[in-house]
């Protein structure tokens, strides 16, 4: 850990626990700060807060009392999930108290450089690919952020020769000050999280923060096929590294003659890549660019791409049974994600879809249903999805109670060569605690068929 006196004897409020808050509070305590932790969950039901109390850290649980702002805090470290409209956060900003997320704390104590990945879709796949490529190439990666260990916990133990590969949300990036990754990646930008952000522009600005502090010695890898990311590239000081599935960019990653190239060098044939889908080609291009900038060999990259079947719950290949292939895309909680999943296949698809009703219709799915031979629905949106399926000319439409029952139903009407795809196009909360639980239920039901 890098020596720092930035927090010595400072009064700091850590707002919201979960894993990131616990780790940040403990680290700040070690750095000599006077730490107070505030969490909504009552102390009697809060083992994390109890553990911090045993370390000698002040704990306030059960509510977010606005009176805390009268205690003279010099800094607030906020859980990313707490919105800025929270009265404590609004009050702190009005008083001029800086508000950061623990990603900023991680940066300030880390000896290792960061490879930061953000975007609307593809973050997790890209992050995992980069980690695997760097690991195969002997580049000592550590994974952190939304899919790994808490960033400040990783940074505390990282050495100079390590590389911290971190997935970053817009929520985290809104709370940075000096955070500067050596390599920043923006996969794409679509409408998302507008229940948290006040506008799409605020969301875009939050994503763009990943490159805001970069200098000419850093790299900005961006999707050259999108206007929003091209605008970010126009404003950064970092060296630009575009990627595109459409256009050849001599200074970036691109596709030519059925192969992936980086800066004029052929890296791998598309036929050697097992991960399906054009959207995943974008993720692979971004990952290849980062890996090559870090000096990873083509052989290491090829080895990863020959075996990488996807991240859990994100177009994850599960298994094949009697020449039917099963894919778990439970993370497809919106129409855009489900559309991309459907576009990844040319084979006949049996689609399993449905879930929480957010009030929207599903007509935007129609153009992607041409090769769908059957639809199995479940959850609150079953009727809406069935209407769209009928209008798309699909004749086999069945409704079941849940994902577990959808799997044998789909298998029963499938034929050799079919893909059975869970890509719900909806959130899971009407029936399942999370999309992960829903995906796990799908995988378990598939294995029961064996």
Beta strand pairing call for 11-15 and 75-78: parallel
Q: Residue 121 annotated as binding? A: yes
Q: Is 402 annotated as a binding residue?
A: no
Residue 319 counted as an annotated binding residue: no
| C-alpha span between 209 and 215 (Å, rounded) | 13
How far is the CA of 322 from the CAs of 317, 404, 411, 414, in angstroms? 15, 19, 10, 10
Partnered with residue 244 across adjacent β-strands are 254
Residue 202 C-beta-side C-alpha neighbours within 13 Å: 12
CA 13 and chain centroid, separation: 27
Binding residue per annotation — 247?
no
Residue 91 near residue 59, CB atoms below 8 Å? no
Tell me which residue of 207, 116, 120, 123 sits closest to 165, measured CA to CA: 116
What single-letter DSSP state applies at residue 314?
A: B
Torsion of CA 136, 142, 145, 150, to 10 degrees: 150
Q: How far apart are CA 300 and CA 161, in angstroms?
A: 19
Burial class of residue 120 in the structure, from the number of CB atoms within 10 Å of its CB (0-12 exposed, 13-18 middle, 19+ buried): buried
Alpha-carbon dihedral of residues 59, 62, 66, 69, nearest 10 degrees?
Answer: 10
Q: Is 125 annotated as a binding residue?
A: yes
Binding-site annotation, residues: 119-125
Annotated binding site for ATP: 119-125
């Amino acid at each position: 850990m890098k020596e720092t006196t930035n927090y010595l004897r400072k009064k700091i409020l850590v707002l919201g626990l979960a894993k990131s808050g616990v780790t940040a509070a403990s680290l700040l305590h070690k750095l000599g700060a006077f730490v107070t932790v505030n969490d909504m969950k009552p102390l009697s039901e809060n083992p994390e807060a109890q553990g911090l109390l045993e370390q000698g850290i002040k704990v306030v649980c059960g509510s977010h009392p606005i009176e805390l702002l009268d205690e003279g805090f010099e800094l607030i470290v906020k859980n990313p999930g707490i919105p800025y409209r929270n009265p404590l956060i609004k009050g702190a900003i009005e008083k001029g108290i800086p508000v950061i997320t623990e990603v900023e704390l991680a940066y300030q104590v880390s000896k290792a450089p960061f490879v930061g990945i953000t975007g609307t879709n593809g973050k997790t796949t890209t992050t995992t690919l980069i980690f695997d490529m760097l690991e195969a190439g002997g580049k000592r990666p550590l994974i952190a952020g939304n899919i790994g260990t808490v960033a400040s916990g990783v940074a505390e133990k990282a050495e100079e020769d390590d590389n911290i590969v971190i997935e970053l949300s817009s929520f985290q990036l809104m709370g940075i000050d000096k955070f500067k990754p050596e390599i920043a990646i923006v996969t794409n930008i679509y409408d998302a999280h507008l229940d948290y952000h006040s506008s799409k522009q605020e969301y875009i600005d939050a994503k763009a923060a990943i490159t805001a502090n970069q200098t000419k010695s850093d790299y900005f890898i961006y999707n050259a096929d999108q206007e929003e990311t091209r605008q970010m590239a126009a404003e950064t000081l970092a060296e630009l590294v575009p990627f595109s599935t459409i256009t050849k960019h001599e200074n970036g990653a691109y596709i030519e003659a059925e192969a992936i190239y980086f800066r004029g060098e052929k890296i791998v044939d598309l036929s050697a890549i097992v991960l399906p889908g054009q959207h995943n080609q974008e993720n692979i291009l971004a990952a290849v660019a980062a890996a090559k900038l870090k000096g990873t060999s083509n052989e290491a990259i090829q080895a990863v791409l020959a075996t990488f079947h996807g991240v859990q719950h994100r177009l994850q290949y599960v298994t094949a049974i009697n020449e039917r292939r099963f894919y778990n895309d439970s993370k497809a909680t919106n129409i855009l994600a489900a559309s991309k999943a459907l576009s990844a296949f040319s084979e006949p698809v049996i689609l399993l879809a449905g879930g929480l009703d957010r009030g929207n219709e599903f007509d935007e799915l129609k153009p992607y249903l041409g090769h769908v031979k059957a639809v199995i629905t479940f959850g609150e949106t079953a009727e809406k999805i069935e209407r769209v399926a009928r209008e798309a000319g699909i004749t086999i439409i069945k409704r079941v109670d849940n994902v577990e029952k959808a799997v044998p139903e789909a298998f029963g009407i499938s034929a050799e060569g079919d893909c059975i795809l869970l890509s719900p196009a909806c959130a899971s909360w009407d029936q399942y605690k999370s999309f992960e639980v829903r995906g796990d239920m799908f995988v378990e039901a598939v294995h029961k068929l064996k």
